[in-house]
Structure 1
């Protein structure tokens, strides 16, 4: 029984191998014949023997007997053949097939007939739009607008920028050679931290609070804020493509981003310089307020940006790297809830703000964003309408 099974398996393998060999030989034979037909078609075109060319090339085009390069060459010969026969309807059909097979097909004025060069200009052969995806890092910096310090007229805090991640998807459309307009959607994380020494002057001691300081002493308060933001940038971009064959294509851009705050939290710690009761430094981490639930940050904001980058050509698509500066254009703090008078959404009372000795200033976030990604060109070749040709 086992011998019969083994024999059957070997038989199946042998038959499959024979099938592969015969198929490969058939495909190779077809490829050889199609290459010969393409050479014959070119020779016939050169001497003006046009009527027989479609019959010679059509089976290999439809049957996949050509390589990629041979297909492009065959489609160009088909288009030129119908142009010379004044069959513009078929010339249009094969020009579209040529542009589908080879978007932005390059023609050489010194080698290609003038007829096909002029005919190509009657078609839309550039991308209808480009889509891209990118990931990167952003550095967020606190910029004070108005100080609301509880203890002095000037904000004495030291702010440290933070670095976080971002991801974007964008779509662009060319409106003039080299100039694109675009919009996108991004998910961006932002963070910064701060340190502030709060001097109480002649504050009275409170033995019930180990962090209450003696007269003339103070607290060192530290906190960080973390944001998750949905961003919708709109922008204008100029790219220098040169002759269209450059590998590296520099560009500049500028625009605005409209943001929706998904989440924002603050982590706070207060450390007393000296305790009234035991003379030992003490510290405490306060509850983390949810700045969105407490409505202490505005849900909708916007900022302006400008930057530069370079596209690295990969056939008709691009890898790219870019950097931009982001400039906050509005206060992101909700002033109506600067001093909450009731228990907040996460259970913290008004006293939590005063325990740390800090209150929200009016501020915005600036920053630098660096990303890398890939841009895909989307084509849909069509013949242009007559009024667009004029």
Structure 2
């Protein structure tokens, strides 16, 4: 190799050895691996105490285009937060903590590993979800609470009996968390409810009524919660307003007059009872339930057992006798009544987060 060739080779080696560290520190948008290499290098420098060199390595990667995935960005924002805290730049540290939590609102610190300043700053932010949007479905059992009896026979000896039957309910729920322990819950539910009434009148006539009605309900509940890891249990108290969508009944009357005539039955199509019912009625509610996180996706598997106590009469007194078929055909006059219900529901909830730094409470100490 002649002298000129040796000079060119030495110049190329010198250029490459100079440009490689420069590219590692200032990756371009088209560099597929530069930012990932810089992130690893920045973490090594942090461990070695070279904190002043960390920001120049990864700041361009989070501020511009890079091949960072979500986990890479979280690592970078955490490292930037720690370095800004080390440099006493709390405002910049808070901005990077905000970006970290925006990417992963459920980020969990490790007090045994993470610097205490990082832990303290993390604890100044809101981490719990501000709301949980859910969909539930389940069954209900409707029990009738008689307020006043009516009938064509002597009502003192002919009270009749009500039997609970199974219906169903579908609910859209919105829970708004005031604190991790206290929240307000509302939503919209659709219920199909059923019960059966039977009565023997005039010592020869039996009437049976299978009634069903559908309602739309808007609840307002207060929840008191207890959380342990991925499980959250709550006690719920509140009330709901119900709107009657429809009401109908299938009636059967069977008369036994004497042995010669045998049994005489009256059966007809379903009767519409909507006009005789109150359009709005109210209930008190209580429930116990639980959320189980990370069973399916990042949301909550929900289960709830509830009880509601009716406050309102479902019958409009001035329309009690409006349906003459009930009276003339079946010897049936509706009683004044309210309803109580047991419900069992399961569902799925999606948490909504909005991390932010909480304002410090002002001290009253002089």
Please give the TM-score of this superposition, normalised by the length of structure 2: 0.82
2:166 aligned with 1:183, yes or no? no
Tell me what 2:116 maps to. 114
Match of 2:326 among 352, 363, 372: 352
- CA gap 1:138/1:351 in 2 versus in 1, 3 angstroms: closer
Tell me what 1:38 maps to. 39
Match of 1:373 among 340, 344, 347: 347
How far does the alpha carbon of each residue in 1:42-75 deviate from its partner, in whole angstroms, 9 at most, with x for none? 1212333234323322455455634544432222
- CA gap 1:352/1:327 in 2 versus in 1, 3 angstroms: closer
Between the aligned partners of 1:150 and 1:229, the Cα distance in structure 2 is: 30
In the alignment, is the contact (CA less than 8 A) between 2:175 and 2:186 conserved in 1?
Answer: yes
Give 1:155-174 correspondences, 5 Å limit.
155-174=158-177
Between the aligned partners of 2:157 and 2:310, the Cα distance in structure 1 is: 21
In the alignment, is the contact (CA less than 8 A) between 2:158 and 2:201 conserved in 1?
Answer: no
Between the aligned partners of 2:160 and 2:301, the Cα distance in structure 1 is: 42
Please give the TM-score of this superposition, normalised by the length of structure 1: 0.77
Q: CA deviation at 1:365?
A: 1.1
Question: What is the total number of aligned residue pairs between the two structures?
Answer: 331
Q: CA deviation at 1:155?
A: 4.2
2:308 aligned with 1:326, yes or no? yes
When the two chains are superposed, the root-mean-square deviation of aligned CA atoms in Å is 2.6
Match of 1:97 among 83, 96, 99: 99
Between the aligned partners of 1:58 and 1:155, the Cα distance in structure 2 is: 84
Between the aligned partners of 2:266 and 2:258, the Cα distance in structure 1 is: 12
2:221 aligned with 1:235, yes or no? yes
In the alignment, is the contact (CA less than 8 A) between 2:141 and 2:342 conserved in 1?
Answer: yes
Q: CA deviation at 1:135?
A: 0.8
Give 1:329-340 correspondences, 5 Å limit.
329-340=311-322
- CA gap 1:388/1:219 in 2 versus in 1, 3 angstroms: farther
Tell me what 1:305 maps to. 285
In the alignment, is the contact (CA less than 8 A) between 2:289 and 2:304 conserved in 1?
Answer: yes
How far does the alpha carbon of each residue in 1:355-376 deviate from its partner, in whole angstroms, 9 at most, with x for none? 3112111111111111111111
Tell me what 2:18 maps to. none
In the alignment, is the contact (CA less than 8 A) between 1:275 and 1:282 conserved in 2?
Answer: no
In the alignment, is the contact (CA less than 8 A) between 1:286 and 1:352 conserved in 2?
Answer: no
